[in-house]
Amino acid sequence: MACLPIYRTYVEGGTAADVDARDRRTIESTIALAARRTPSLNSTLFDFVRDILLLVHPSAESSPAEVLELVRKLQQVTGPVTAKSVEDTAFYRYNRLVSLNEVGGEPEQYGRSVDELHRLLAERLETWPGSLNTTSTHDTKRSEDVRLRIDALSEVPAEWLDRLRRLARTARPFKRVIDGRPCPDRNEELFLYQTLVGAWPDDLDPAWPRTHEKWIEFTGRIQSYMEKALREAKVHSAWTNPNKAYDDAMREFVADVLGSSELVAELLPFQRRIAAAARISSLSQTLIKVAAPGVPDVYQGTELHDLSLVDPDNRRPVDFERRRAMMAEIEQALAGGAAARRALAGEYSKGAPLADGRAKLLLLREALRFRREARDVFLTGAYIPLHVEGPDARHVIAFARRAGRKAAICIAPRFLVAKEPGWDGHVHLPRDLKGALTHVVTGAEVKAIGGSLALSDVLNGFPVALLSR
């Protein structure tokens, strides 16, 4: 079970011929690795287990029904074992960039190239077109918007390292010594600072007294979260054997860190710059989720920017009345015609509407409306990677979906923390995608010049672009 590289196999049937080729390869390689790791055991034991898992009946006394029952039982066990050992232990210990530590994720995989993303999306259209495009669930370790903020740290690693050193120096007096060891240790401290970058509420004012209800709420959330993180990691405390002294020292450390005006002043300007870039990345992620092959899934609460952490933090009640009020505001403005639509999109591209999630809600509403109107484009339409040229080419992902004469073009910015304002570059369109295009959110007509779309044109009225033909 420790050597199995996946959650489970899906062996079913009555004979070895019924075993899928991928399951067969996984089982054989896993058994071989387990045998190499345990040279003290007779290799025939591993041969026996391998035959059982591949539905080969190792003796006349073993019935096919008994073999299959054992395989089924084992397949029910390996998933929880993997989840507990990887997601609920290793993911709280390996804290290099915690946004990578997501359910089903591979923390050693630091992103993918744009070309590889295009290949994966084309493959999804070919093999699993009905899969969910999911970015947050009840079970994610961090909400999609928290992850995007922490992701953005990888864009400025040297600056982040320098910031970490200064935060650690400022926080050193707040540490307690428990059983001869400082609490928190450096790994846990790294975990905490990434969490603060990711989860800091946009409406939490450092000028407010720490007795303000929002400060009390946020401090309590982080204290509860860090207690869970400590006990899941099982290094200094655990659910089965809590170390109360260490848990209490961590709670006090969190309170001292958030109560320190000097430390908050050190963190917050940097965090706000990260958060501002992540808001645009959130729009890009939302757009790709809707436009890419698959079925977009929106977990409750993530219609706006959601800064929830793992359960029970992400089980807090969702303010649906607030969302209804924002949606009513959007619908009223859109009813005012083309000029009102452009004005709304421009207003939502900056300031409070961008920060509180109204821009995300507007994008979701209009992109899903267009998706419903052009179902064949998004459900079965071709996936076409688009080439981007110019100084800002690395800051954009672009692709098209096409079914017959209908088409949709998606242009999504990325890597925005250190990017200079403005856009300089072009998206090249295939010959059969030229023609009049309409920006789904702003309603503006966009024209290709010389077979290319200028980024300055398509990203002028709203931070991301979904164009329809």
What's the confidence (pLDDT) of residue 60? 64
Residue 61, classed as helix, strand or coil, is coil
Which pair of structure tokens corresponds to residue 120? 């994966």
Q: If one looks up domain 319-469 in CATH, what number appears?
A: 2.60.40.1180
* Paired strand residues for 340: none
Q: If one looks up domain 144-273 in CATH, what number appears?
A: 1.10.10.470
Rounded to 5 degrees, φ, ψ at 59 are -155, 165
Name every residue whose Cβ is closer than 8 Å to that of residue 269 and which is 6 or more positions away in sequence. none
What's the confidence (pLDDT) of residue 58? 64
Rounded to 5 degrees, φ, ψ at 467 are -110, 140
* Paired strand residues for 445: 438
Cite the DSSP H helix spans in 335-458. 338-347, 351-356, 358-373, 375-379, 455-458
Q: How far is CA 313 from the centre of its chain?
A: 16
CB 310 within 8 A of CB 142: yes
CB 438 within 8 A of CB 446: yes
Cα separations (Å) of 340 from 336, 345, 352, 363? 5, 9, 18, 16
DSSP state of 18: G
CB 287 within 8 A of CB 310: no
Please name the residue that has the structure tokens 């804290």. 95
Q: What is d(CA 29, CA 327) in angstroms, rounded to the nearest whole number?
A: 53
Which residue intervals of the chain bear CATH 2.60.40.1180?
319-469
Which residue intervals of the chain bear CATH 1.10.10.470?
144-273
Is the omega angle on the peptide bond into residue 184 within 30 degrees of 0, that is, cis? yes
All residue ranges of the chain with pLDDT < 50 are none
pLDDT in tens, 347-372: 999 888 899 999 999 999 999 999 99
What's the confidence (pLDDT) of residue 168? 97
**In terms of C-beta density within 10 A (0-12 exposed, 13-18 middle, 19 or more buried), how is residue 129 classed?**
middle
Q: Which of 393, 355, 377, 357 is nearest to 290 (CA)?
A: 377
CB 287 within 8 A of CB 205: no
Cα separations (Å) of 162 from 158, 167, 270? 6, 9, 11
pLDDT in tens, 146-188: 999 999 999 999 999 999 999 999 999 999 999 999 999 999 9
pLDDT in tens, 94-148: 999 999 999 888 888 888 899 999 999 999 999 999 999 999 999 999 999 999 9
